[in-house]
Structure 1
Amino acid sequence: MEALFAEIKRHYGLEPTSVEPLEGYEDRTFRMQAAGGRWVLKEHRPGPGRKARIELESRLMEHFRVGARFEYPAQLPVKAGGSYFEYDGKLYRVLEYLEGGFMAEATQDERFLQSLGRLLGELAGKAAGFGAVPVSPDPFAWDLQHLGMSQQYNREIADPRIRSLTAYMYRQFQAEVLPMAYSLRRGFIHNDANDWNILVRDGEVTGLIDFGDACYSWLAADLAVGITYGLMNKEDPLQAAATILGAYHAVFPIAPDEADLLYYLIGGRLCMSLCQAAHTSKSQPDSPYITISQAAVEKLIEQWVRIGPVAARRTFRKVTGLPQVPATGEETFRKRRNRLLSPSLSLSYRHPIIMERAAFQYMFGNDGTSYLDAYNNIMQVGHCHPEVVARTSEALRTLNTNTRYHYESILSYAEALLKHFPPSLSRVFFVNSGSAATDLALRLARFYTGRNQVMALENGYHGNTSAGIAISHYKHRPGHAYPNTLLCPMPKVFGSGWADDGTAGRHLSESCLGQILEHGESLAAFIAEPIMGCGGQVPLPHGYLERVYQAVRKIGGLCISDEVQVGFGRLGEHFWGYERYGVVPDLVILGKPMGNGHPLGAVVCTEEIARAFAEGPEFFSSFGGNPVSCAAGKAVLDVLEDENLPRQAAETGEYLMRCLRELGEESPLIADVRGDGLFIGVELLLADGKPATRKAAQIKDHLREERVLISTDGPFDNVLKIKPPLPFNRGNADELLEKLGAFLRINDNSS
């Protein structure tokens, strides 16, 4: 070190007494004590263009200092001229040491955030006026224009949930920002206004250090970097962003396209930080500089996804005085809908919602409102999950055909799907909906047995085809006859007086067993949902299916499990609903969540049933099993495993049901809480024991106004239906519980 000190004295006339290393990603930085003050010593590894880069940074710092309101470090020139000296195979330079605390350690109130906005505005003005760049910089991983260089490390993020959020934000960035890349204003930006580079004094931002990441890029990228760090650990990140942006705009007016893309640019910076930290931590696992802010970044990306782009765009336009893009009102939608669609299609809630976007367990109205979705079970792994989007997009780009050709995706998906079934269920037919799957399952059963009658449960629902409606008591209307349908009473434990220890199953199956004996010669199949959805989220009693399946098979019939609503890990411990009862059906119907919103369904059956069906007319589905559908289905299976969503469903569901039961101890309105995993029903009864249908509707609409979406179901529509996308977590459960509890405490629950 003495030799280096001697070189510093020779080139700068300074006499160093000590150096203290500072953290950083690449080049080494030291705080240097010398006679007369402190300085910053930078050590650079030589490489192509390195010397030109140092000279460029020197010019840039000097440019930023001219007429500046904020402080930027000065480059100390060497005696012989230039910005650096060479020693021992490395390049060294000395910069002015600016006094002040760091933003990371400061109290960040509104005044502070406004000063941050003014700094970022000054940076934009300086960057825009820097002029021609004498070198052509190589692509730089910390430049938002080249976010893909960081995103390649996404798979190195340890937490699968954060990995998916990052992938989602990256895909949104690609779709929204990149098409506008060449229209955004550019300049030579600082590019690293992070909370350890921003200097603070007396509660306000005073300056900025470290131009090592400066690059020629979008002016709005510099704003996005600075705002991102201003949002860390804020309860209301969007309000903090608005405060910063308002002050920025007063110094350097933002362009409309920059304001509209700012949400995605901030999301891109979050992706960059998380991916780079995950990658670099492998080589520097103990570096606090790399890991210190990652908890805050992870929290912020969760918050940012929930805020959504619609609210951000409207907020950013409002604070900068830009005209709003008008949001079409509900009445306009209603009139168009009434003119174009059938009145048989219903709308949810007293005040229907105009939805514009969605992400994971959140949905976004066209007015910017963000809703917690505790209702839409079709989006099993979350709305717009990036893995499903990526794979279906790629499949649609490369091949979409039908089963009259060989192609890999249908086979790899079938193999992956059948691994979740016992060996006896070894054949799969792909269709394009749960309703089509029901229709096919009934055809299979009738062809195999040579019989026509099907036994189903009251209040059950199995699809919208003619065959499905015939066995769906939930859709039956007085006066309509379905001669090939036998109905058994819904075996509901609650209110039966029997315990669910096998006793209820034994007693509640008697009626069904009697009908099986009476109609045995004509009975083709028995069909049931393991937990009845439209019946009011009613689990079948333990022992019920075991007795019924045994009786059906004894007379030569087949047993069908309708897993459309409860399958694919929703129940937590059990991937399929039939597993919770210790039985194995002959046919399984799949749909709804199978493709995460992509129209996909299937029937899984035994080899014997499939071979028998092949002796009849050829089965062909134009869209069943196409490559895009198979890509969606395989992605769902992989995400369920990678993110361990069934386990999360089990843990979150157990917690939510326990808390709902505790809430029921306070509120007599809650009569029963039932279900499994994240398929939950809360039955409401009045003090006289009658169904609390009106109260259930009030709660549903109240929660909608509180930005939480649930629904109601059951024969009397008095059961709160909770079946969210599986990313729904404990924090989401707490929000639902808090808002439901607030309603119950305020309202009279007894009438």
Structure 2
Amino acid sequence: DEIACALKEQFGFEVESIKALGGYEDFNYYTREASSQRELLLKIRTICTPAIKCDIVGFITESPTSDVMRKAMVHLRSHGVPAPKPIKNRNGKYYGCYKFDDPVGKRFLELYTFVPGKTVVDTSWTPKSMEEMAANVGQLCAKVTLALQTFMCELDIPKGIFNPQNFLFFQKYEKFVEDKVTAGIIKECFRMFDENFPIAKKNLRKGFIHCDLSTANIILGEDEKLWVIDFELICRSYIVFELSICVAYIMVTAVQYHGDPILMAQIAIRSYEQLLPLNTTERSFLSIAISARLATSYLSANYQATIQPQNVEYLFAQAGKCPKLLHVLHKRRINQKRKLVAFYMQTYLDLENK
């Protein structure tokens, strides 16, 4: 009833139905407008965050990231990338503030068009259909990256903890990983990132990135199109991180549906490069970035589980697959090193014999 009242007050329409949806920190609701039968997504956000400021007359204003997020969605739509459409309220703004009858009280309300369909991670895949999915998602990642290259907006949050370049921030969560072998592999991920990123970043291209282009944030719509949702982490960073995040979660989805994660990663990367070729540095750094994202996801889930024990199942739905993938990638790196050493040894022996 409170949500229906909030929508009536802020957006001026009666609600026919409301359904709670999953969410991480925000409250998300599917709602259908009574008169037009429009399907909409309502996001209810807490206003108690450091990013939110007060304007000169003391009224609470929204996070600057939220404004950039909506502008990015509009920009992507104008460049042919399917994304939800933000809806203005009765005051002509894309957000409103409503006081709910609970201890938190005031929260922000944002409304978007609802995308009917299933997320890629929640869609059932066969080995063959999974290959097509990996190719399509890889291509979508390239389209998003290319579109955001022309996106102009003021946003400077380089110290945001979810900005991929700040991967080392998560090192302090190692203590929550109980399995010693997995913890050791994660330490190795930190070491490789710490050694390689400062050198590689000189040749890594920059731009706005979605920053969470996972299979949970891509919807296979009823129209058979792939839609991009959840832009909350949008930031300026290095574009190779966008691909690394996308590929990491394609691999997670492959494990979930008993596919070959390495093959799916290769297909996605090839598809991406058909539209947006990587430079030499990006290509060599990509595997390090993928491992970093998998480690970040797993460490974050372990930490969040200590403060949100009621959400353990949700937190580990994807993150729980990360240790297996980290082990696979670690073994692959070892085998590649052995092959490289063997190659150089054989080359040396051949030269000696000559």
TM-score range, shorter chain: 0.7 to 0.9
Alpha-carbon spacing, 1:305–1:100, altered in 2? closer, same or farther (3 Å): same
User: Per the alignment, do residues 155 and 11 of structure 1 end up closer, same or farther by CA in structure 2, a change over 3 Å counting?
Assistant: same
In the aligned structure 1, how far is the partner of 2:292 from the partner of 2:233? 16
Cα distance 1:298–1:329, how it changes in 2: closer, same or farther (>3 A)?
closer
SS of residue paired to 2:207: strand
1:33 CA drift (Å):
3.3
Offset at residue 309 of structure 1 (A):
8.0
Structure 1's 167 and 71: CA in aligned 2 closer, same or farther, altered over 3 A? same
Residue by residue, what CA displacement relative to the aligned partner does 1:18-68 show, whole Å, maximum 9, x if unpaired? Answer: 433333332222222332132111122223443222111111110111131
SS in 2 for 1:181: helix
TM-score by length of 2: 0.83
> Aligned residue for 1:295?
320
Question: 2:86, 2:113 within 8 Å by CA — same for their partners in 1?
Answer: yes
Letter in 2 for 1:168: E
Q: Residue 130 of structure 1 corresponds to which residue in structure 2?
A: 151
Q: Does 1:286 align with 2:310?
A: yes
Residue 294 of structure 2 aligns with which residue? 270
2:45 counterpart of 1:44: yes
Question: Which residue pairs with 1:250 in the alignment?
Answer: 274
The runs of 5 or more residues in structure 1 that have no matched partner are 315-324, 340-751
Shift of residue 332, structure 1, vs aligned partner: 2.7
Partners of 1:198 and 1:205 within 8 A in 2: no
Determine if the alignment matches structure 1 residue 74 to structure 2 residue 85: yes
**1:240 paired to 2:251:** no
Give me the whole-angstrom Cα distance separating, in 1, the residues matched to 2:87 and 2:213: 22
Deviation, 1:117, is 0.9
Please state how far the C-alpha of 1:235 moved relative to its aligned partner.
Answer: 4.9
Q: Match of 1:304?
A: 329
Give the Cα separation in 1 of the matches to 2:232 and 2:204: 23
**Which residue does 1:148 correspond to in 2?**
168
Q: Which residue of 1 aligns with 2:57?
A: none
Q: Which amino acid in the other structure matches residue 189 of structure 2?
A: M
Counterpart mapping for 1:249-648 below 5 A: 249-287=273-311, 288-308=313-333, 330-335=345-350
Q: Give how far 1:310 is off.
A: 8.1
- Local SS of the residue matching 2:19: strand
Change (3 A) 1:182 1:253: same
Q: TM-score, normalised by structure 1?
A: 0.41
SS of 1:92's equivalent? strand
Task: Find the residue that maps to 2:264 and give its secondary structure.
Answer: helix
Of Structure 1 and Structure 2, which has the larger fraction of its residues in helix? 2
Tell me how far apart the structure 2 counterparts of residues 187 and 92 of structure 1 sit (CA, whole Å): 29
SS, match of residue 231 in structure 1:
helix
Which whole-Å deviations, capped at 9, do the CAs of 1:451-476 have from their partners, x for residues lacking one?
xxxxxxxxxxxxxxxxxxxxxxxxxx
Structure 2 partner of 1:230:
250
Letter in 1 for 2:30: R
Question: Partner residue of 1:738?
Answer: none
**In structure 2, what residue type is equivalent to 1:298?**
P
CA contact (8 A) 1:127 1:219 kept: no
The secondary structure found in structure 2 opposite 1:207 is: strand
Given that 1:228 and 1:269 are in contact with CA atoms closer than 8 Å, whether structure 2 keeps it comes out as: yes
Aligned-partner Cα distance in 1 for 2:107–2:159:
23
Task: Tell me, in whole angstroms, the C-alpha distance in 1 between the residues paired with 2:223 and 2:302.
Answer: 33
1:499 aligned residue: none
Q: CA separation in 1, counterparts of 2:163 and 2:314? A: 19
Separation of aligned partners in 2, 1:189 and 1:245: 17
Q: Match for residue 7 of structure 2? A: 8
1:266 is matched by which residue type in structure 2? I
Root mean square deviation, CA, Å: 2.6
Q: 1:203–1:221: structure 2 CA closer, same or farther, 3 Å change rule? A: farther
The Cα shift of 1:299 comes to 1.2
Counterpart of 2:296 in 1: which secondary structure? helix
Give the Cα–Cα distance (whole angstroms) in 1 for the partners of residues 169 and 7 of structure 2: 37
Q: 1:199 to 1:149 in 2, by over 3 A?
A: same
Unpaired runs of at least 5, structure 2: 53-61, 100-105
Inter-partner Cα distance in structure 2 for 1:61 and 1:116:
18
Map 1:702-721 → 2, pairs under 5 A: none
Supply the distance in 2 between the matched residues of 1:245 and 1:226 (Cα, whole angstroms).
10
> How many corresponding residue pairs?
324
Contact 1:28/1:42 (8 A) holds in 2:
yes
Query: In the alignment, what sits opposite 2:205?
Result: 185
Asked if 2 retains the 8 angstrom alpha-carbon contact of 1:73 and 1:95, the reply is: yes
Query: Is contact 1:112–1:205 with CA below 8 Å preserved after alignment?
Result: no
What one-letter code is carried by the residue in structure 1 that aligns with 2:147? K
State the match for 2:71 in structure 1. Answer: 59
Would the aligned equivalents of 1:5 and 1:16 in 2 still touch at CA under 8 Å?
yes
Secondary structure in 1 matching 2:29: strand
- Whole-Å separation in 2 of the counterparts to 1:8 and 1:117: 37
Give the Å deviation of 1:328: 5.6
- The 1:337/1:28 distance shift into structure 2, 3 A limit, reads farther
Q: 1:193 deviation in Å? A: 1.6
Partners in 2 of 1:150 and 1:191 — Cα distance? 16
| Partner in structure 1 of residue 138 of structure 2 | 117
Please say if residues 158 and 236 of structure 2, whose CA atoms lie closer than 8 Å, have aligned partners that are also in contact: no
Match of 1:102 in 2: 119
**What letter corresponds to residue 290 of structure 1 in structure 2?**
L
1:79 maps to amino acid: R
Deviations 1:167-201 (A, max 9, x none): 11121111122322243111111111222211125
C-alpha deviation, 1:274, in angstroms: 0.7
Write out per-residue CA displacement over residues 629-650 of structure 1, whole angstroms, 9 at most, x where no aligned residue.
xxxxxxxxxxxxxxxxxxxxxx
SS in 1 for 2:231: coil
For 1:85 and 1:161, the matched residues in 2 are separated by: 48
AA aligned to 1:304 is L
| Contact 2:155/2:235 (<8 A) preserved | no
Within 1, Cα distance between the matches of 2:180 and 2:172? 15
Q: Which residue of 1 is the match for residue 108 of structure 2?
A: 91
Distance (Å, rounded) in 2 between the aligned partners of 1:160 and 1:204: 43
Specify the code of the residue in structure 2 equivalent to 1:16: V
1:196 aligned onto 2:216: yes
Identity over the aligned pairs, expressed in percent? Answer: 21
